[in-house]
């Protein structure tokens, strides 16, 4: 068997996969549209009796296909960043044939913008974490609708800390709601209780899934880091050793300031927008907690406030520094599973 590989581009869809096989000199050896089945895809690429190096854009379902090609067929498969691949195409036209060929060509010349192929266990944890995030968003929307209903009826919010058991009892006891508003309030409160209960169920599931996870255990040992922050970091980051530096990890989390310099003007333009929004939110929420309970981050926050920085900027800066510090802590402990 020749040691020279063939390069395969896979344009993935839920029903079909466009397969392009390319020689090392750039000649296309084969091209076929296959069903979304590993054996049929392998038949196209493996008939040349050479090692296969494949590329597939990261999208829903693509990771499972890539994992199966690696485990069952022994392929070398790289996941590609779809946004960067689109920019590198430099062509307004789009079709499956061109996309598959571009992926094969980028893999051949070594210019493929790669993303991490997470193991199955991490992908499963990620699904549960994101399901909880969806439930939390739904709970927040219900609370907003309840407050809007009170404002529409010109009713002041009950005294006390909002959304506690005592506050909810006072809310249910409000008498001056008209018929339809009362009916809507009862529906909102019932749905709020259902969603809150489902969130508790999901959190118990997350605790069970990560019971023997050393990385999650180490993260939770840090003062100010709870279960949700720990499992979110585990699900979205996976392993810390796939980053070269704390700065790279911080940019992945969307916590680095975006440079907006031009000519003699040197300026920042807020946080970069390319990171995972939910991961950034969790880390900034964790930063608020760290600023309350850890003297190290309290001191940093105090210095930034003395420089006149607003609270939102302070929280983002603390989160940025914390993630960089966390990268080195996890590397030191060797927790890069």
Q: DSSP labels for 13-66?
A: -SSEEEEEEE-TTS-EEEEEEEES-HHHHHHHHHTT-S-EEEEEE--TTHHHHH
pTM value? Answer: 0.88
CA angle 51, 23, 108 (to 5 degrees): 80
pLDDT at 336: 47
pLDDT at 159: 84
pLDDT at 196: 95
Rounded Cα–Cα distance for residues 24 and 269 (Å): 43
Rounded Cα–Cα distance for residues 210 and 205 (Å): 9
Rounded Cα–Cα distance for residues 105 and 21 (Å): 9
Q: Exposed, middle or buried: residue 257 (CB in 10 Å: 0-12, 13-18, 19+)?
A: middle
pLDDT at 333: 59
* Residue in 229, 272, 215 with CA at minimum distance from that of residue 249: 272
Q: How far is CA 234 from CA 36, 119, 163, 229, 327, in A?
A: 30, 12, 30, 9, 13
Q: Residues 25-50: pLDDT tens digits? A: 999 999 999 999 999 999 999 998 89
Q: For residue 325, what are the contacts with CB-CB under 8 A and spacing of at least 6?
A: 246
Q: For residue 71, what are the contacts with CB-CB under 8 A and spacing of at least 6?
A: none
Question: Hunting for tokens 């980028």 — which residue is that?
Answer: 106
pLDDT at 2: 56
Q: Which two tokens stand for residue 14?
A: 């839920």
pLDDT at 174: 82
How would you classify the pairing of strands 28-35 and 52-57? unpaired
* Residue in 18, 17, 16, 19 with CA at minimum distance from that of residue 6: 19
Q: Residues 147-162: pLDDT tens digits? A: 999 998 888 888 888 8
Rounded Cα–Cα distance for residues 68 and 63 (Å): 9
Q: DSSP labels for 146-157?
A: HHHHHHHTT-PP
Question: Hunting for tokens 């991961």 — which residue is that?
Answer: 279
Q: Exposed, middle or buried: residue 264 (CB in 10 Å: 0-12, 13-18, 19+)?
A: exposed
Alpha-helical (H) ranges within the chain are 38-46, 62-73, 82-89, 96-109, 120-152, 165-172, 179-209, 214-220, 227-237, 246-252, 277-293, 295-306, 311-332
| Furthest CA-CA distance within the chain | 83
Residue numbers of the chain with a pLDDT score lower than 50: 1, 336-337
pLDDT at 20: 94
């Amino acid at each position: 068997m020749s040691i020279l590989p063939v390069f395969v581009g896979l344009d993935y869809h839920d029903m079909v996969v466009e397969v392009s096989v390319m020689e090392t000199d750039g000649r296309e050896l084969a091209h076929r549209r296959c069903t979304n089945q590993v054996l049929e895809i392998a038949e196209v690429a493996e008939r040349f009796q050479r090692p296969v190096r494949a590329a597939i854009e990261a999208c829903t379902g693509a990771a499972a296909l890539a994992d199966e090609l690696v485990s069952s067929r022994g392929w070398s498969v790289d996941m590609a960043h779809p946004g960067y691949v689109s920019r590198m195409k430099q062509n307004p036209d789009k079709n499956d044939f061109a996309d598959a060929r571009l992926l094969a060509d980028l893999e051949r010349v070594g210019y493929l913008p790669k993303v991490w192929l997470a193991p199955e266990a991490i992908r499963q944890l990620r699904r549960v974490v994101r399901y909880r995030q969806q439930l939390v968003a739904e709970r927040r929307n219900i609370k907003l609708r309840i407050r809007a209903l009170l404002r529409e009826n010109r009713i002041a919010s009950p005294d006390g800390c909002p959304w506690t058991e005592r506050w909810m009892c006072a809310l249910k006891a409000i008498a001056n709601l008209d018929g339809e508003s009362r009916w809507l309030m009862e529906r909102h409160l019932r749905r709020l209780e259902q969603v809150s209960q489902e969130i508790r169920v999901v959190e118990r599931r997350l605790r069970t899934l990560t019971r023997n996870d050393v990385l999650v255990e180490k993260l939770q040992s840090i003062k100010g880091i709870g279960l949700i922050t720990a499992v979110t970091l585990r699900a979205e980051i996976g392993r810390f050793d796939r980053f070269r530096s704390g700065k790279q990890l911080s940019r992945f989390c969307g916590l680095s300031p975006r440079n907006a310099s031009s000519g003699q003007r040197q300026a920042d333009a807020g946080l970069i927008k390319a990171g995972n929004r939910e991961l950034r939110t969790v880390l900034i929420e964790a930063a608020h907690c760290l600023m309350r309970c850890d003297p190290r981050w309290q001191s940093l926050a105090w210095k930034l406030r003395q420089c006149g920085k607003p609270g939102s900027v302070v929280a983002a800066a603390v989160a940025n520094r914390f993630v960089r510090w966390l990268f080195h802590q996890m590397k030191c402990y060797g927790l890069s599973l």
